Amino acid sequence: MATLIVFLPMDLPQESSQLEYLVTPDGRTVTAHSSAALALLPAAGGAEVVAVAPVQALSWHQVQLPRGLLGKGLGADRALPRLRAVLEGLLEEHVLDEPSHLHFALAPDAAQTREGMVGVAACDRAWLQAWMHALERQQRPAARILPEFAPLATFDAIHVIGPESAPRVVFSTRGPSPLAQDAGAGLSVLPLTADAALLADASLGKAVFAEPALAALAERQFKRAVELSSRAGRALEALALPWDLAQFDLASSSGLRSWRRLARLLKDGLRAPQWRAARWAAAALVVANLAGLNAWAWAQRASLEAKRQAVREVLTSTFPAVKVVLDAPVQMAREVQRQRLASGAVSEGDFEVLLAAYADLTGSWPEMGAKKPAGMDYGNSELRVKGLDLGKVNLAEINGRVRARPVQVRIEGDSLVLFAASAP
Residue 36 contacts residue 21 (beta carbons within 8 Å): yes
Share of the chain above pLDDT 70, in %: 84
Phi-psi map region of 291: left, alpha, beta (phi>0 left; psi -120 to 50 alpha): alpha
Encode pLDDT of 122-170 as tens digits: 999 999 999 999 999 988 989 899 999 988 766 678 999 989 899 999 9
Q: What mean pLDDT is predicted for residues 224-245? A: 90
Closest to 18 (Cα-Cα) out of 33, 4, 39: 39
pLDDT at 272: 64
Is the model's pLDDT at 288 over the cut of 50? yes
Q: What mean pLDDT is predicted for residues 240-252? A: 82
Q: Provide long-range contacts, Cβ within 8 A and 24+ apart, for 266-275.
A: 267/1, 267/27, 267/48, 268/240, 270/1, 271/1, 271/26, 271/27, 271/28, 272/27, 272/240, 273/28
Is the model's pLDDT at 257 over the cut of 70? no
pLDDT at 183: 41
pLDDT at 232: 93
Is the model's pLDDT at 35 over the cut of 70? yes
Is the model's pLDDT at 184 over the cut of 80? no
Q: How confident is residue 254, by pLDDT bands cut at 50, 70 and 90?
A: very low
- Looking at every residue in the chain, the average pLDDT score rounds to 82
Least confident of 2-11, 26-35, 172-181, 282-291: 172-181
Encode pLDDT of 203-234 as tens digits: 556 889 999 999 999 999 998 899 999 999 99
pLDDT at 236: 92
Share of the chain above pLDDT 90, in %: 31
Is the model's pLDDT at 73 over the cut of 50? no
Q: What mean pLDDT is predicted for residues 286-296? A: 93
pLDDT at 258: 55
Is the model's pLDDT at 177 over the cut of 60? no
What's the gap between Cα 76 and its chain centre?
21
pLDDT at 185: 59
Encode pLDDT of 322-355 as tens digits: 878 888 888 887 887 777 767 666 667 778 888 8
Encode pLDDT of 39-56 as tens digits: 899 987 778 899 999 999
Residue 185 contacts residue 60 (beta carbons within 8 Å): yes
d(CA 330, CA 322): 12
d(CA 16, CA 37): 6
Residue 325 contacts residue 316 (beta carbons within 8 Å): yes
Is the model's pLDDT at 58 over the cut of 80? yes
CA distances 10 to 18, 97, 122, 130, 250, Å, are 11, 16, 14, 11, 18
Encode pLDDT of 358-375 as tens digits: 888 887 777 777 778 888
pLDDT at 175: 46
Residue 392 contacts residue 383 (beta carbons within 8 Å): no
What's the gap between Cα 411 and its chain centre?
55
Angle (deg, nearest 10), helices 254-271 and 276-318: 80
pLDDT at 287: 92
What's the gap between Cα 141 and its chain centre?
20
Q: What mean pLDDT is predicted for residues 300-329? A: 85
